[in-house]
Structure 1
Amino acid sequence: MIAGTGLRRGEAVGLRWDDVDFARRVIVVRQQVVQESGRKKNKQAPVPCPYCAAGHLGMSFGKPKTKSGEDRVVDLDEATVGALLAHRMRQDAEREQWDEAYADHGLVFAREDGNPLRPDDVTKLFGALVDAAGLRRIRLHDLRHGQASLMLASAIRPLRSRWTLTRTCSEASGGMPPSVPRPSCRAPGRRRRPGQQRASVTTW
């Protein structure tokens, strides 16, 4: 999901099924799961939750991590749609097994009992899966960078202009394999003057 959409970790964990439109093949990012360390250690009360009465220790739901804090629309490709549909079938089976004990938060990605995932646990699981597959170790956040780099290299601009991934050219192209063409950092028809710093690029 993160590799196919470029979502941040907290946004993916906070995504709800109500914000997934399979017919239009888009998702709307309205919230994220924010990790709050030290609350259990300091014996503080759980953070109130808009979806359950119990609340959660060390986690809360907040607005997306954007400058404006506004919702944004993200397009889905065919492979991501298929993966989401298959995942929903597995989640529905888990919901039936837990029956009334299922704490339904409406989340796309949740624990088996329906409660939200802790972002750090997702990062650890991703690392374990990478190691088990024998792949080169990367950060979970690198999937977001990789999506930005591939779309820059292929000159693809998603239809939803509200989805913004702001990166400098060096950040966007630094992790790309040699076989992938690196994008130009200059606007067409303009040349950078000697000593002029490389400007940041906002993609799609």
Structure 2
Amino acid sequence: MTRALLVIDMQRAFDDLDFWGATTNPACEGNVAALLEVWKGSGEPIVVVRHDSTSEGSPLAPGNPGNVLVDPVAAVEPALFVTKNVNSAFYGDPDLHAWLQENGITQVVLCGIQTNMCVETTARMAGNLGYDVTVALDATRTFDLETEIPGLGTVTRSADELMATTALGLQAGGFARIATTAQLTG
């Protein structure tokens, strides 16, 4: 096999909209489940990545109920299970890049949460490391953002805008192709 599915941070904490704010793409979990079914059926490897936050008060911290994987992902026996505490799955344990190389995997398909954070960072690193990268955009989701930025003032973007900007940057920048779940499962 030369292709693997990377399922990133599909954890229960992201259902807490009081903590994260408004979200988009309620079909994300169903689309991730559809991708998992196709990969299980094909025998291609599945890599599950979990974010173990080291930030105080984070619902993603180990031991918190939010750290737990959502049911469709928890039910999978992955070829590799990676834990991380930063945005990129390539800075997790065990070493994702080494495992992909050892197994002759040259193509990765990414899905999960958050589109513009951990999915995007992992996609950019995978592209820079020479992998053929596809992001199943409709099998990702993110949240509205607002922050104060020196020189720009208060910057606000909706989850939909962030997803579109991520897709644009990844595809136009040559880091990854953007696809739909239907394109990858059909």
Instruction: Tell me the TM-score normalised to structure 2 length.
Output: 0.30
Instruction: Tell me the TM-score normalised to structure 1 length.
Output: 0.28
More strand by share: 2
Structure with the larger RCO, 1 or 2 (CA within 8 Å, 6+ apart): 2
Larger Rg over CA atoms: 1
